[in-house]
């Protein structure tokens, strides 16, 4: 009888265990469904969240943490950022798995960005990044890197964005077509944001073709939209129209409203460029009907500019003035937001640098302490022979230290200097210049940039060979380096293109220096190359303004001025001016103290 009771009890335990497993599987299935619909079906999302929340007592801690994370995603879509942060903090308190913890940190960063609390967002990102670098799980790393790319895009930190997209691409290549597709797209977006249009176009075409091949239609649509934006920047509006209309049709089945609104704003600008005023008015009107929320501001900025130009063409100057006033107000909001992002990002970089230096200092002190203790022990316990061995050991260590120092210097030089010319490479020079630019900005000092390109350099390579071309690059670099001031930062930017960063230098002085460099190049004697030919270079110069948050706008303006020098016959120096910039991207600007009637009179006069 006792044996029978034991058997009955054992069977009951098995049945109960199977029931628990079955119930657990049901909740996992519901959570899987929720993770699918949370991005596309708000009504079903709310039903599932309510259903799972009512069964909270039956969920495991991991399941409940997962529910809270998915609930936070729904809060993010509803722009309820504080509720999202609260849900994520509760999810974190249940000690979730590494994979789920990774999602918690990344969604927390998104929520803080939504609240414009950029410093906290960067802190969370930094914490998560230091954590995942120690993990062996490649899938977690890829998803983390791609999420970081998104966050850095929102922060307008395009260098970091490109860096993590490259890491994600390297890890996902040949393993995950979807992640590889996203990585290719983000790399192209980074090129577009930094105005490298040729590379952006190639990147978007690569992502479009690869994603088409792997049946990822949403990313194909994103790539086509990117190609449309490149075409707009090149004023090739007919090409832009084709790409944007294709992307619009491909977004609609997915009800991807944010991207649809973005394309509407781009189409308004495209049809303005094509002089199809009715369509430009129609698409701009769709954008202006959107709610006045932060996510829509960049679209409305473009639409108000289009509507202002349309009103101006119709002679409705008061209406044009109103739209331009709206445009300027939105621009100011976005500018302030961008400045806040830039300040938070620079502060985070500074703090991380300080932490690294502090850790290095502590490690160094610990090493010194250990060495002192070892020395004391040797002095107490060893005889004369031991001391002689120690002395010999120190000699060997010194020799080893000298060798290591030499190797470190060698590798540091390889990492920081251009292999052919010996001057700073682009990344190193730009990092040094960015730091100096920030210091000069705080002191209200002007900062200038000079960009120059050797004229007809391809002909030298084609006619005399690449050896002669290399000789030219080395001799030009030597000549310019001798002519530079001690604080100037000289770098080879790309191929035969060079940049001089000039701290604490105004535009007039920068032009004088550029002219000196131009004359130095023009006077070079090429007979020592074994050939005789003329050398010259085209220069572009610009200086900083209060609106500049980094060196990127200065580099862009210097490049425009340099291209203008080439158009003027080469071998000259051009200082960037508003007129030169407007000749490539015309715009209307309302002065802060200008009344509607004054604006109307000026518009008629300029028209």
pLDDT, tens digit (0-9, with 9 covering 90-100), for 37-89: 776 677 888 888 888 888 888 888 888 888 898 888 888 767 788 898 998 88
What local confidence, expressed as pLDDT, does residue 341 receive?
54
- With 70 as the cut, is the pLDDT of residue 350 above it? no
pTM exceeds 0.75: no
- Which has the minimum average pLDDT: 66-80, 337-351, 446-460? 337-351
Confidence (pLDDT) at 396: 55
CA 547 to each of CA 131, 327, 336, 378, 379: distance values in angstroms, whole numbers, following the listed order: 37, 16, 10, 63, 65
Please enumerate, as own/partner, the contacts of 423-427 that have beta carbons within 8 Å and a separation of 24 or more.
423/477, 423/481, 423/490, 423/491, 423/492, 424/489, 424/490, 424/491, 424/492, 425/491, 425/492, 426/491, 426/492, 426/493, 426/494, 426/499
Rounded CA gap, 143 and 153, in Å?
15
Q: Which of 510, 526, 506 is nearest to 518 (CA)?
A: 510
Write out pLDDT tens, residues 195-222.
899 999 999 999 999 999 988 888 899 9
Contact criterion met (CB below 8 Å) for 327 and 304: yes
**φ, ψ (nearest 5 deg) of residue 255:** 55, 45
pLDDT of residue 208: 93
Mean pLDDT of the region 341-368:
47
Of 144 and 208, which is predicted with more confidence?
208
Higher pLDDT pick, 7 / 308: 308
Whether the predicted pLDDT of 454 surpasses 60: yes
DSSP state of 417: B
Please list the residues that pair with 499 across neighbouring strands: 451, 491
Task: Give the confidence band of 370 by pLDDT, cuts at 50, 70, 90.
Answer: low
Residues with catalytic roles: 496
Strands 573-575 and 489-494: unpaired
The residue behind tokens 């060893």 is 382
Closest C-alpha among 601, 519, 112, 14 to residue 315: 601
- Report d(CA 515, CA 36) in Å as an integer: 62
Residue 575: pLDDT over 80: yes
SS3 587: coil
Please tell me whether residue 201 adopts helix, strand or coil conformation. helix
Model pLDDT for residues 382-439, shown as the tens digit of each residue: 555 544 445 555 555 566 555 555 555 544 555 678 888 889 999 888 899 998 998 8
pLDDT at 365 over 80: no
Q: Which residue has the higher pLDDT, 17 or 121?
A: 121
- What is the SS3 assignment for 487? coil
The more confidently predicted of residues 40 and 280 is 280
Residue 393, SS3 per DSSP: helix
Query: Taking the CB of residue 18, how many other CB atoms lie within 10 A of it?
Result: 10
**Of 39-53, 221-235, 360-374, 466-480, minimum mean pLDDT range:** 360-374
Output the pLDDT for position 191: 92
- Please give the mean pLDDT across all residues of the chain: 79
Is pLDDT at 493 greater than 80 in this prediction? yes
Q: What pLDDT, on a 0 to 100 scale, did the predictor assign at position 409? A: 57
Q: How far apart are CA 243 and CA 225, in angstroms?
A: 6
Contact 157/345 with Cβ under 8 angstroms?
yes
Q: According to the 3-state scheme, what is the secondary structure of 63-124?
A: HHHHHHHHHHHHHHHCCCHHHHHHHHHHHHCCCCCHHHHHHHHHHHHHHHHHCCCHHHHHHH
Residue 375 has a pLDDT of 60
CA distances from 349 to 276, 346, 354 (A): 47, 5, 9
| pLDDT higher than 90, residue 22 | no
Reported as a pLDDT band with limits 50, 70 and 90, residue 328 is confident
Main-chain phi, psi angles of 447, to 5 degrees: -135, 130
Which helix (H) or strand (E) segment is 448 a member of? Answer: strand 448-454
For residues 290-309, average pLDDT: 87
Backbone angles phi and psi of 451, in degrees to 5: -120, 135
Q: Which two tokens stand for residue 5?
A: 């009771």
């Amino acid at each position: 009888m006792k044996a029978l009771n034991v058997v009955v009890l054992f069977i009951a335990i098995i049945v109960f265990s199977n029931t628990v497993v079955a119930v657990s599987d049901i909740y996992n299935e519901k959570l899987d469904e929720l993770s699918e619909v949370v991005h596309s079906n708000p009504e079903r999302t709310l039903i599932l969240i309510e259903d799972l929340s009512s069964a909270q007592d039956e969920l495991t801690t991991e399941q409940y943490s997962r529910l809270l994370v998915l609930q936070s995603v729904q809060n993010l879509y509803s722009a309820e950022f504080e509720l999202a942060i609260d849900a994520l903090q509760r999810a974190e308190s249940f000690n979730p798995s590494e994979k789920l913890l990774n999602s918690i940190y990344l969604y927390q960063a998104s929520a803080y960005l939504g609240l414009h609390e950029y410093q906290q967002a960067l802190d969370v990102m930094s914490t998560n990044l230091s954590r995942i670098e120690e993990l062996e799980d490649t899938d977690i790393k890829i998803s983390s890197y791609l999420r970081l790319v998104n966050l850095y895009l929102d922060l307008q930190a395009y260098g970091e964005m490109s860096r993590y997209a490259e890491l994600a691409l390297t890890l996902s290549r040949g393993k995950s077509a979807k992640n590889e597709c996203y990585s290719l797209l983000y790399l192209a977006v980074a090129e577009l944001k930094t105005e490298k249009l040729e590379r952006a176009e190639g990147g978007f075409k690569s992502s479009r073709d690869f994603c088409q091949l792997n049946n990822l239609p949403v990313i194909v649509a994103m790539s086509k939209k990117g190609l449309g934006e490149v075409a707009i920047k090149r004023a090739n509006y007919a090409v832009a129209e084709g790409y944007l209309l294709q992307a619009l049709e491909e977004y609609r089945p997915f009800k991807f409203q944010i991207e649809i609104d973005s394309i509407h704003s781009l189409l308004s600008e495209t049809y303005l460029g094509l002089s199809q005023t009715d369509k430009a008015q129609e698409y701009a009107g769709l954008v202006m009907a959107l709610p006045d929320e932060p996510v829509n501001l960049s679209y409305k900025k473009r639409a108000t500019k289009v509507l202002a130009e349309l009103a101006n063409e119709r002679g409705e100057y008061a209406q044009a003035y109103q739209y331009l006033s709206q445009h300027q107000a939105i621009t100011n909001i976005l500018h302030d937001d961008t400045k806040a992002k830039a300040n938070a990002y620079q502060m985070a970089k500074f703090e991380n640098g300080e932490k690294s230096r502090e850790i290095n200092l502590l490690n160094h002190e610990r090493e010194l302490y250990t060495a002192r203790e070892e020395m004391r022990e040797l002095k107490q316990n060893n005889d004369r022979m031991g001391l002689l061995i120690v002395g010999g050991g120190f000699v060997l260590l010194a020799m080893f230290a000298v060798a290591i120092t030499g190797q470190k210097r060698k590798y540091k030089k390889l990492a920081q200097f251009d292999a052919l010319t010996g001057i700073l490479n682009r990344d190193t020079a730009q990092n040094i210049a960015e730091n100096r630019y920030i210091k000069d900005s705080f002191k209200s000092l002007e900062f200038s940039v000079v960009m120059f390109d050797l004229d007809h350099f391809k002909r030298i390579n084609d006619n005399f060979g690449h050896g002669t071309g290399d000789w030219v690059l080395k001799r030009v670099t030597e000549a310019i380096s001798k002519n530079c001031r001690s604080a100037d930062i000289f770098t080879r930017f790309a191929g035969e293109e060079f940049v001089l960063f000039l701290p604490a230098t105004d535009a007039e002085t920068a032009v004088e220096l550029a002219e000196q460099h131009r004359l130095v190049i023009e006077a070079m004697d090429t007979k020592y190359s074994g050939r005789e030919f003329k050398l010259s270079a085209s220069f572009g110069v610009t200086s900083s303004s209060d609106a500049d948050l980094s060196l990127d706008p200065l580099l862009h303006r210097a490049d425009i001025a340099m291209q203008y020098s080439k158009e003027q016959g080469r071998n000259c120096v051009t200082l960037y001016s508003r007129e030169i910039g407007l000749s490539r991207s015309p715009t209307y600007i309302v002065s802060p103290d200008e009344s509607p009637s004054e604006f109307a009179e000026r518009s008629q006069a300029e028209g």
